[in-house]
Structure 1
Amino acid sequence: MPLWHIYHPPGTYTPQQKKQFVDDITGIYTRVGLPKFYVVAIFHEIEEASFFIGGEPSKASVRVVVEHIARHLEDPAHRVETSELIASRLAPHTTERGLHCEFHVDETPRDLWMTDGIAPPPSHSEAEKLWVQENRPIPY
């Protein structure tokens, strides 16, 4: 599962803009074979008085925390490629709108994750392909 926490000033995104943002995020993962339902995005509106950059209140910043669980990036070149892909998908929703944007990715151990009480199937397995097809967890 990728879990995206998007911290932003109030009113930064309309419901339609949030949906487009999430569609762009989801595309990062479905293109590598993950089920859509793995992708979770939570928008957190943070008042200027509670959002500081360099000790100063910020009203034009977006901070994104991504937690990767379903797949981990071992190869340094793949890590750079993934960071660049994330930055490119964030840009239309942040920097191209004049917002400062920073993100980082954490990798959570896969064996500490369950969905509906079911441990996820092994990566690239037939069971995982079924989860993609059905877009839901299925006991295997």
Structure 2
Amino acid sequence: MPLWQVYHPPGAYSDEQKRSFAEEATGFYARFGLPRFYVVTLFHEVAPASFLVGGRPSGDTVRVVIEHIARHAEDPGLRERMTGALGRLLARHTQERGLHCEFHVDETPRDLWMIDGLAPPATGSEAERLWARENRPVPYG
């Protein structure tokens, strides 16, 4: 599961812009075979008085915290390519709109994750492909 927490100034995103942003994030992972429902994007409006960068209020900063649980990038080259691709994705929704953006990725151990009481199926398994086709968790044996 990728969990995206997007902290942003009030009014930075309309409902349609949020959907577009979340859809692009979802598509990023779906192209690698992750079930679309794994991707959760949460938008948090933060007033400038409560969003301090360098100790000063900021009304133009977006801070994104991404938690990767379903997949981990072990290879340094892959990590660099992934970070670059995420940076380009985020730029379309931040820098290209005049907003400053900072992000980081945490990798949570996969064995500490469940959905509807089910441990997610193994990466690349038929059960994971079933979850992707159904776009929901399905009991598997």
User: TM-score band, normalised by the shorter chain?
Assistant: over 0.9
Superposed CA RMSD: 0.4
Q: Which runs of 4+ in 1 moved over 4 A?
A: none
The answer to whether the aligner puts 1:116 opposite 2:116 as a matched pair is yes
Q: Which residue is 2:21 aligned to?
A: 21
Shift of 1:11: 0.3
Q: Which residue is 1:102 aligned to?
A: 102
Q: Which residue is 2:137 aligned to?
A: 137
CA deviation vs aligned residue, 1:27-75 (integer Å, no higher than 9, x gap)? 1100000000000000000001000111110000000000000000000
Aligned equivalents of 2:52, 2:61: Cα separation in 1: 9
User: Percent of counterpart pairs with the same letter?
Assistant: 63
Q: Which residue is 2:53 aligned to?
A: 53
Aligned length: 140
Query: In the alignment, residue 36 of structure 1 is paired with which amino acid?
Result: R
TM-score (norm 2): 0.98
Shift of 1:138: 0.6
Give structure 2 stretches of 5+ with no counterpart. Answer: none
Q: Which residue is 1:76 aligned to?
A: 76
Aligned equivalents of 2:54, 2:61: Cα separation in 1: 12
Shift of 1:92: 1.2
2:96 aligned counterpart, secondary structure:
helix
